[in-house]
Chains A and B, each alone.
Chain A
Amino acid sequence: MSFLLDALSGLCLLTGGFLCVSGGVGLLRLPDFFSRVHAASVTETLGTPLILAGLALQMGPTLDTVKLLIVAAFVLATNPTATHAMVKAALHDGQEPLVGEPTQESTPGKQEAEPSDS
């Protein structure tokens, strides 16, 4: 039973960690502000909750688990708010979302680290 819990918790931690790294990679690879926000939300909506779930499984049914759940709820509740604030600020500043498929049409000044497939 304890082994099962450890395995499950380890799996959660590993997956959560991988998702957080993926969010970071997405921040680097995606072409503009608005698409980068999507990458950031991967970290917040699945990465963090999975890590917290893994930790909660280690804790067992204690007060600390309740606190972890509260932290998870808080992260999930604040994500849309923070995202909205950022996007609103960007739009106010006059940033226009990049539209289209950046892999095919070369968007001037926005291209980065793309393996040329033509």
Chain B
Amino acid sequence: MYYLVAFVLYLFWLLLSGHFTTLLLGLGGLSVLMVVWFLRRMDRVDGEVSFMRPSFGLLHFVGWLTWAVAKANIDVVRRIWDPKLPISPNWTRLDTQIATPLKKTLYANSITLTPGTLTTNAREDHLMVHCLTKENAEELRGGEMERRIRKLVL
């Protein structure tokens, strides 16, 4: 496992550096070794990390999320520049049927990533969400994002 991590790290280092002189390659190798040593001491590379396998469905969701984030951005910017500042902040409970930790993490983070909505707490069966406007809250309750995440096979 540590060999794999070291290999991937070194490839990443090569990608970032783009230099191929002996001195720099050696320094890069040295830093990779140090990182792996730290990781070993911290015992973080264990079997409990859950990975999201890249899939077509996930890609589709990311595409949809990007579009939703762009729309939400335009809405928030419009409200910021509006002289009347038409906001109605609210802090509500958002019930969810998403049960697996990975999907719930994805859901909460997607909400936070979207401007105008923000997850403050995640509990067993609900999230606490702060919204900039009532419309944001209603859109979340509409549950399109939740449906899309529940459909995902991770």
Contact = CB atoms under 8 A, between A and B. Distances in A.
B115 A34 contact: no
Interface stretch (B25-33, B37-45, B51-59, B81-89): B81-89
- SS class of chain A's interface: helix, strand, loop or mixed? helix
B113 A97 contact: no
Nearest to A18: B77
Interface string B118-133: 1111000000001010
Q: What is the predominant secondary structure among interface residues of chain B facing chain A?
A: mixed
Interface in B100-154: 108-109, 112-121, 130, 132
Contact of B118 (A25, A34, A46, A115): A34
B91 A38 contact: no
Interface in A10-43: 19, 22, 25-26, 29-32, 34-35, 37-39, 41-42
A57 to B, nearest CB: 18
A98 interface: yes
B38 to A, nearest CB: 20
Interface residues of A, number: 39
Contacts of A25: 80-81
Given A41-B113, A76-B113, A115-B83, A19 B73 contact: yes
B16 A29 contact: no
B45 to A, nearest CB: 19
B31 to A, nearest CB: 17
B69 A45 contact: yes
Contacts of B86: 103
Contacts of A87: 118, 120, 130
Interface in B63-79: 69-70, 73, 76-77
A103 B112 contact: no
A97 B130 contact: yes
A103 B84 contact: yes
A100 B89 contact: yes
B15 to A, nearest CB: 7
A93 interface: no
A38 B85 contact: no
B47 interface: no
Given A19-B73, A25-B81, A42-B77, A80 B116 contact: no
6 contacts: A29-B85, A41-B112, A46-B115, A63-B15, A87-B130, A100-B88
Given A30-B87, A41-B118, A101-B87, 15 more contacts: A19-B73, A25-B80, A26-B76, A29-B80, A29-B85, A39-B80, A46-B115, A63-B15, A79-B112, A84-B112, A88-B120, A91-B120, A97-B90, A99-B91, A102-B89
